[in-house]
């Protein structure tokens, strides 16, 4: 996806203290709806930043349990032409074609509008996730100092954020702190799905021994997606929600919040961090 699609130019009136107001062009993060289909069945509509759309669709369907695994998907494609009912264009509808045709289960159908900030709300209870995704058994252990260095590495890799200041990011790091993948989007959950989708296309799932860092807060759905990918350490520069903490604790995931300015709060799984003595 070209930079033109990910960034939009908007006319603005810039007002600065003590200076004359000036008209100018401002770069803002692009936001468009994308419909996800499986074998032609619509399962979700989400607002996203164009780019890495196949990764987003695949990551979403995997982490939400709509598709059993990457091998179940034969092809992914954009749907040709405009949809007269939704108005979505060629590049705003992605269809995953499964190797074994079959209808999507009614309880997994997400054919509803969802905002870029809240994700797919009310689609699963904690109990349903617990039944679908077993607890982690991962011996990852990293120095706290390594973890403190990751936000700056993630920030340095946020290319579109540098131009717009309006995107979330998810970064996947290995146990040595090497950045393996970074994805940006107006939605936190979308950025995470894109990372999971990338891992699926690279035949890298499960992501045992890895660290996922997100640029915003951690809600339940992001912890759920990390659990699906079998990521043992989830960190965020902002706060987690109570449901995210509950899910992380029950699934033996390490959850770190407020990872910034050289500090952090460890909510669960402190055994995976080597702390200063």
- Which residues are tagged catalytic? 118
Distance, CA of 83 to chain centre: 27
Structure token pair of residue 69: 């695994």
Structure token pair of residue 118: 């809240």
Q: If DSSP states are collapsed to H, E and C, what string results for the chain? A: CCHHHHEEEEEEEECCCCCCCEEEEEEEECCEEEEEEECCEEEEEEEECCCCHHHHHHHHHHHCCCCCCHHHEEEEEECCCCCCCCCCCHHHEEEEEECCCCCCCHHHCEEEEECCCCCCCCCCCHHHHHHHCCCCCCCCCEEHHHHHHHHHHHHHCCHHHHHHCCCEEEEEECCCCCEEEEEEECCHHHHHHHHHHHHHHCCCCCCCCCEEEECCCECHHHHHHHHHCCCCEEEECCCECHHHHHHHHHCCCEEEEEEECCEEEEEECHHHEECCC
- β-strands 142-143, 273-274 pairing: parallel
């Amino acid at each position: 996806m070209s930079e033109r699609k990910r960034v939009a130019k908007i006319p603005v009136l810039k007002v600065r203290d003590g200076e004359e107001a000036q008209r100018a062009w401002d770069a803002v993060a692009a936001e468009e709806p994308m419909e996800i289909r499986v074998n032609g069945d619509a399962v979700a509509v989400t607002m996203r930043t164009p780019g890495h759309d196949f990764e987003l669709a695949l990551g979403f369907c995997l982490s939400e349990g709509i598709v059993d695994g990457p091998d179940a998907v034969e092809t992914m494609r954009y749907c040709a032409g405009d949809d007269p009912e939704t108005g979505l264009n060629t590049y705003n509808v992605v269809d995953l074609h499964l190797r074994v045709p079959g209808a999507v289960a009614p309880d997994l159908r997400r054919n509803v509008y969802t905002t870029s900030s809240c994700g797919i709300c009310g689609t699963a209870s904690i109990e349903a996730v617990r039944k679908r995704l077993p607890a982690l058994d991962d011996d990852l252990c990293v120095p706290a100092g390594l973890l403190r260095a990751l936000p700056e590495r993630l920030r340095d890799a946020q290319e579109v954020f540098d131009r717009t200041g309006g995107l979330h990011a998810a970064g996947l790091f290995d146990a040595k702190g090497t950045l393996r993948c970074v994805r940006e989007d107006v939605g936190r959950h979308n950025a995470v799905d894109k990372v999971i989708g990338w891992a699926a296309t690279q035949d890298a799932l499960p992501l045992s021994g890895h660290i996922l860092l997100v640029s915003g807060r951690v809600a339940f759905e992001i912890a759920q997606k990390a659990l699906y990918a079998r990521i043992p350490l989830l960190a965020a520069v902002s706060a987690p929600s109570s449901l995210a903490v509950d899910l992380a604790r029950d699934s033996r995931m390490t959850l770190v919040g407020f990872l910034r300015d050289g500090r952090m709060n460890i909510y669960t799984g402190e055994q995976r961090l080597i702390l200063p003595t």
